[in-house]
Structure 1
Amino acid sequence: MYISRWRHSRRYLYIGVSLLFFLTLFIHFQYFTQRLDFDDKKSQQSTYCDQTIIRKHFMNDQ
């Protein structure tokens, strides 16, 4: 009785650990792909360039 109980508990332990591992991987890849999508959208946006700030900066350096 004790041996069979140990076998079942070990099986459940392996199943639980593997499920936690794959759940962690799934959450990590979901987060990582969302960050990549966000960075891609951010890089495609045109950046606003204020010419007056650039002129003031170079005028002060001279």
Structure 2
Amino acid sequence: MPAFTFEKISPPVRRAPAATPPQKPRGLISQMINRFAERRARRALRASPRGDEKLAK
């Protein structure tokens, strides 16, 4: 019987969350669509009281 035994020592477990991959820059078309959508949403918010009156009739 051997006097020494060798065991495989596993590396310590990391408790930190995994690093998130960097986000890709958005494409030009996506940026343009976002701009149009923001403007449309602002216009809808400004016009909503007037628009509700038109729908009620």
Task: Give the TM bin, normalised by the shorter chain.
Answer: 0.3 to 0.5
Structure (1 or 2) with the larger CA radius of gyration: 2
Output the TM-score relative to the length of structure 1.
0.38
Output the TM-score relative to the length of structure 2.
0.40
